[in-house]
Amino acid sequence: MSSCSTKCGKKAVLKRPKTGDVLCKECFFEAFETEIHFTITRAKLFKAGMTVAVAASGGKDSTVLAYILKILNERFNYDLRLVLLSIDEGITGYRDDSLDTVKRNRDDYDMPLTILSYKDLYGWTMDEIVAEIGRKNNCTFCGVFRRQALDRGAALLKVDCIATGHNADDIAETVLMNILRGDLARLNRCTSIITGHGDGIARVKPLKYTYEKEIVMYAYFKQLVYFSTECIFAPNAYRGHARVLLKDMEKIDPAVIMNIIHSGESLTVNEEVNMPTLTKCSRCNHVSSQTVCKACVLLEGLNRGLPKLGIGKSSKAKKMIAEHDKKKYECSSSAENKQCICKNDPVGNSIDRKNDVTW
């Protein structure tokens, strides 16, 4: 039986993947919490008086993030107001269950909760989108819509920043994915601990250097309640392949996770590479690297019955939209309840009127 590396005399309960240290439960909690505190302070993620929305899915990462921000906020007097923000994608048997867990987080951690749905924001649930597009590119819709939905929720709640539960394994996985896809623009920014700063609501990743293994062990030893299942639509996602590759390599040497993140951070993209400049979407006014943002293009496709419109190169979609605009643009979506963002008020205003925003 190994004893704790700190020589505290207690029995070790886990081997840390990052350092190889073996720690007892108490020393592990201490190390885990203090490291996240250092990450937060070193990168100056928060300022006193801020309202921070924790993007909460009910899963392990966001549950641990909400819990840890609450205790660090109290222990180190961050002076933050913490709220929970959840997105209901409208996936029956998946998100409806996990939202029950978020509601438990709300009660356990005493944080107000707001749930925004794709149905309210876009007029479509993921179930309806999948019925339209099939199971090949559905994750593109979900990812693009969720990103924007969180921004809209954050604007609605007037928060200063959004904290997400991305962990070290997630970041390393994203670096790998962007390398495999040759997506240099994303590769360049995917390791940033603060994003969207200056042209929108800042997003921060306090768990950026925290290993998934430790998050799960922490939740287990602290008996935190979280929801775990596979998204019923996810098995075809490309990310899964990067994940398997990473987990196989991590088994050989857990340091690969940190090494990949470090490589990503140290990369400088060659000046000859054409980097997109951020501007505002001409339709919904949201931050975008294109004239029309990806969410509007995808939504336009759905509403016109051309769901594949936004899949693939943005230049193709731009051409299709331009051609259509020439024939005098008339938003087909005003019919029934399938609303188009382009007809909505700027961020937030239209959401206020919905009754089903819960607190």
Partner 1 sequence: MSVDTLPISIGFGGGAELLFGNKKNFAISLPVQEITKWQISDLLKWIQDNLLKERPELFIQDNSVRPGILVLINDVDWELMDTINYVIQPNDEIVFISTLHGG
Binding residues for ATP: 55-57, 61, 87, 165, 170
Structure tokens at 227: 């929801």
- How many residues are given for the chain? 359
Q: Which of 74, 79, 96, 248 binds partner 1 (CB under 8 A)?
A: 248
CB distance 199 to 287 below 8 Å: yes
Contacts to partner 1 from residues 38-57, by CB under 8 A = 57
Closest to partner 1 by CB, 22 vs 68, is 22
Site string for partner 1, 98-137 (x = CB under 8 A): x---------------------------------------
Rule CB under 8 A: choose which of 191, 227, 298, 299 binds partner 1.
Answer: 227
Smallest separation (angstroms) from partner 1 to the CB of 69: 16
Rg (CA), the chain: 21
With binding defined as CB under 8 A, does residue 13 bind partner 1? yes
| Binding string, residues 195-224; x marks residues near partner 1 by CB under 8 A | -----------------xx-xxx--xx---
Which of 77, 110, 223, 251 is in the footprint of partner 1 by CB under 8 A? Answer: 251
First-to-last C-alpha distance (Å) of the chain = 48
Decide if residue 247 touches partner 1 (CB under 8 A): yes
Among 50, 179, 234, 357, binds partner 1 (CB under 8 A): 234
Give Dmax (Cα) for the chain.
77
CA distance 305 to 323: 16
Angle of helix 60-75 versus helix 25-42 axis, rounded to 10 = 80
Cα dihedral 343→346→350→356 (10° resolution): 120
Give the binding range for partner 1 (CB under 8 A) out of 8-16, 36-44, 45-53, 114-122: 8-16
DSSP at 228:
-
Q: Is 12 in the site for partner 1 (CB under 8 A)?
A: yes
- State the nearest-atom distance from the C-beta of 89 to partner 1, in Å: 12
- Binders of partner 1 among residues 265 to 304 (CB under 8 A) are none
Q: Which is nearer to partner 1, 38 or 220 (CB)?
A: 220
| Identity of the residue, 153 or 165, whose beta carbon is nearer to partner 1 in the bound complex | 165
d(CA 144, CA 152): 13
Cβ–Cβ under 8 Å, residues 207 and 38: no
Looking up tokens 């050989």 gives: 252
Place of tokens 């190889």: 20
Candidate residues 53, 59, 144, 171; the one interacting with partner 1 per rule CB under 8 A: 59
Contact assessment for residue 105 and residue 56, using Cβ atoms and an 8 Å cutoff: yes
Nearer to partner 1, 169 or 300 (CB): 169
Is residue 63 a contact point for partner 1 (CB under 8 A)? Answer: yes
Minimum distance from residue 247 beta carbon to partner 1 (Å): 4
- State how far the Cα of 62 lies from the Cα of 68, in Å rounded to an integer: 10
Rounded to whole angstroms, the Cα distance separating 195 from 228 reads 27
Q: Which of residues 139-168 bind partner 1 (CB under 8 A)?
A: 165
Which range of residues in 107-115, 199-207, 241-249, 293-301 is near partner 1 by CB under 8 A? 241-249
Q: How many residues bind partner 1 (CB under 8 A)?
A: 37
3-state secondary structure of 84: strand
Q: Which of 331, 191, 199 is nearest to 276 (CA)?
A: 199
**Judged by CB under 8 A, which stretch of 132-140, 226-234, 303-311, 343-351 contacts partner 1?**
226-234
**Which residues touch 237 (CB under 8 Å, ≥6 apart)?**
139
Residue type, 269: V
- Report the run of H or E that residue 288 belongs to, with start and end: strand 287-288
Question: Which chain residues interact with partner 1 by CB under 8 A?
Answer: 1-2, 11-15, 22, 57-63, 98, 165, 169, 212-213, 215-217, 220-221, 226-231, 234, 243, 247-248, 250-251
